[in-house]
């Protein structure tokens, strides 16, 4: 319990220091108070059973790689949407079912957020029993479930599985 408290405390404090406009006594003191309150409230629930794993530098490296892949995916999808917006190109919207190999809550949450952040796709629902994600896609490019998985989620799934293994 104390390890979880300390992990959350220092993570929140690090984010606090990134967000403050200047390093003054008041901001630092406020950061310690806010970090302590958030850590106290969340330490019973967050990171249960994964405290040791979170300090593994390989996981952090894979997470940085994930963020870079996500940024690339957002940028490339944005470029693909330009002709649709500017030239009023015909679209073929629809809801697609995408099989996923991920099973853990954090993995699925990050995958769903990645899909929603990528222009042209929007996460709708998850069927945990069957391992299916339901996604609205602005312009369906394939009817094959494997092709759809490869185009939308494959790049994120491979890295997220290493972050949370």
Q: pTM of the predicted model, to two decimals?
A: 0.68
Q: pLDDT per residue over 21-71, tens digit each?
A: 999 999 999 999 999 999 998 887 766 655 567 677 888 899 999 999 999
Closest residue by Cα to residue 129 from 106, 109, 151, 99: 99
Q: pLDDT per residue over 131-140, tens digit each?
A: 899 999 898 8
- Tell me the three state secondary structure of residue 122: strand
Domain ranges of the chain: 2-52, 56-163
C-alpha triplet 87, 119, 152: angle, nearest 5°? 115
Q: For residue 9, what pLDDT band results from cuts at 50, 70 and 90? A: very high
DSSP string covering 1-70, please?
A: -HHHHHHHHHHHHHHHHHH-SS--HHHHHHHHHHHHHHHHHHTTTTTTTTHHHHT-HHHHHHHHHHHHHH
């Amino acid at each position: 319990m104390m390890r979880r408290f300390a992990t959350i405390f220092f993570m929140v404090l690090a984010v606090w220091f990134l967000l403050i406009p200047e390093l003054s006594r008041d901001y630092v003191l406020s950061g310690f108070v806010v970090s302590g309150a958030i850590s106290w409230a969340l330490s019973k629930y967050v990171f249960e059973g994964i405290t040791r794993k979170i300090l593994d530098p390989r996981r952090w490296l894979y997470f940085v790689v994930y963020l870079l892949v996500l940024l690339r995916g957002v940028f490339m999808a944005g470029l693909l949407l330009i002709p649709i917006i500017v030239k009023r190109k015909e679209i073929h919207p629809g809801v697609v079912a995408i099989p996923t190999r991920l099973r853990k809550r954090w993995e699925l949450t990050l995958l769903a957020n990645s899909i929603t952040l990528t222009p042209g796709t929007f996460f709708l629902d998850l069927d945990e029993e069957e391992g299916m994600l339901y996604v609205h896609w602005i312009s369906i490019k394939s009817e094959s479930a494997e092709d759809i998985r490869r185009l939308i989620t494959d790049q994120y799934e491979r890295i997220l599985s290493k972050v949370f293994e």
